[in-house]
Amino acid sequence: MKKLALSILSISLAGAASAVTLPNVNCAGASSDARCTLKTDVGSYGSIGAGVPLYLGGFTDQIGSGFVEPSENALYVPYEIGGQLDTFGAILKVDLATGDRTLISGRVDETEQRGKGVTYVSDRGQTTTEWGLGRVNAVRPGPDANTLYALQDYGSPVRTVVLKIDKRTGDRTIVWANKLADDAAPSSNPMSIQNQEARLGVTPQTTCDRTKPDPSTFEVYQGNLYFMAAGGVMKVVPGKSCTWISAYSAADGTSTAGSGPTPGTQVMSGTWLDGNLLSATTGPGQTWLMTTNLDTGERRLVSAFNERVPNKGPGRGQFNIGYLGTHAAGLTVYATTGYTSVRDFYMTVIDKRSGDRTLVEGKGSLKRGNTQNMRVIAAIPGTDQFVVWYERALHVVDARTGVAFILSQ
């Protein structure tokens, strides 16, 4: 009977476009189900879903932008542990039916890790390792069913790197970086990190002239990597080239690649891929959500809110678009978080067609809380439901009603 209930739920949530199975719980009203009430005491972490807890004691333990893989009924997420310049970080697979967490790759602590990077010889002749998952911020589907791509960034001026991860072993190799390893002179040692990366296609032709992209997310479309950077969108053909499909100047509004409106700021961040449209947000002052067509470079301003001219648009609704956290696109709406005047959970939900903005208050498991560290992690395919990170737990929230339940904690 329980299996039947789960199946019915998967159909009602996903419709014809997707078939995922989620916990059979309704938190719209009073409920005694543990998934409906958020608890933040130390003993609550690791209590919903088995596996690595989503809080390991670090002040900045957090989940970044991920994706749902319907064929596996799973959510893949990056897990940054501790927020330090170290090797602690991982990719987790979360079962959408149970909330169970499986370590795919990375280092959780001194006793638990999976997969390996590369061993290389430094310019001083020392043997060391590279390509860990410290400061991992985003994960996306890889080039085949057995691989993932993950973005890692230690902050300026250190490199931004994309790694390819083998799901079966957790092993990691490099796919792209915005500058060459160490930015050092060429090495004659074939086991140097410079030469090992060069053999894998990290060359001056792929570095985009050392442009540092938005470190929070990236996208994969038709086998290529796309990054939002200051003044446009970069397209990387792994091992071959980097070009700008959209480029503009915020200072004077000129466009040198692509077409359409140019934001009044060089910085847009927090990308999401919806078909062939890459969306990104910007703020504060005036907050925008803009898309770039990855086939043509055409830019479209979907929604904009300026506190000084609140009705200019596009889109109605006097609510700022969340730009501090990542966002995602559902069936008919975008969900953004991170720009509120209070510390409770609110989402600014944006209609894809009209650009209208609605402020949605969290209910159910999101009814209580006291943090501004909230992110939209992924969309449940074929629905307007989203996975969000709030108070060190993953929740599934209905963007229309705000009702949510805890998926995993």
Question: Bridge-partner residues for 375, per DSSP?
Answer: 389
How far apart, in Å, are the Cα atoms of 185 and each of 76, 178, 194, 197, 262?
Answer: 38, 16, 9, 14, 38
Residue 298 carries which DSSP code? B
Q: Phi/psi class of residue 109: alpha, beta or left (left: φ > 0; alpha: ψ in -120 to 50)?
A: beta
**Is the whole model's pTM more than 0.85, yes or no?**
yes
Quickly tell me which residue has 């560290």 as its tokens: 373
- In the chain, where the domains are located: 1-53+340-409, 66-215
Cα 397 to Cα 12: distance, rounded to the nearest angstrom: 15
Question: Bridge-partner residues for 328, per DSSP?
Answer: 335
pLDDT, position 44: 86
Phi, psi of 374 (to 5 degrees): -130, 145
Residue 137 carries which DSSP code? E
What is the chain's pLDDT, residue by residue, as a tens digit (409 residues)?
A: 334 334 334 433 433 345 799 999 999 988 899 999 999 888 888 899 999 999 888 778 999 999 999 999 999 999 999 888 788 999 999 999 999 999 999 999 989 999 999 999 987 888 989 999 999 999 999 999 999 999 999 887 889 999 999 999 999 999 999 999 875 667 888 999 999 999 999 999 999 999 999 999 999 999 999 999 988 999 999 999 999 999 998 888 899 999 999 887 767 889 999 999 999 998 877 899 999 999 999 999 999 998 888 888 899 999 989 887 799 999 999 999 855 555 688 899 999 999 999 999 999 999 887 777 789 999 999 999 999 999 999 999 999 999 999 999 9
CA 192 to chain centre: 31
Q: Please count the helices (runs of H) and the strands (runs of E) in the chain.
A: 2, 30
Q: Phi/psi class of residue 317: alpha, beta or left (left: φ > 0; alpha: ψ in -120 to 50)?
A: left
pLDDT, position 145: 97
The edge-to-edge listing of strands for the beta sheet with 346-351 is: 328-329, 333-336, 346-351, 357-361
Cα 14 to Cα 5: distance, rounded to the nearest angstrom: 14
What are 320's two structure tokens? 């700022």
Q: How many other CB atoms are found less than 10 A from the CB of residue 44?
A: 19
How far apart, in Å, are the Cα atoms of 334 and each of 62, 350, 398?
Answer: 22, 5, 12
Cα 226 to Cα 219: distance, rounded to the nearest angstrom: 5
What are 201's two structure tokens? 């296609």
Cα 177 to Cα 160: distance, rounded to the nearest angstrom: 6
What is the per-residue burial (b if ≥16 Cβ within 10 Å, else e) of 251-278?
Answer: eeeebeebebebbeeeebbbbbbbeebb
Q: Which residues contact 86 (CB under 8 A, 6 or more apart)?
A: 134
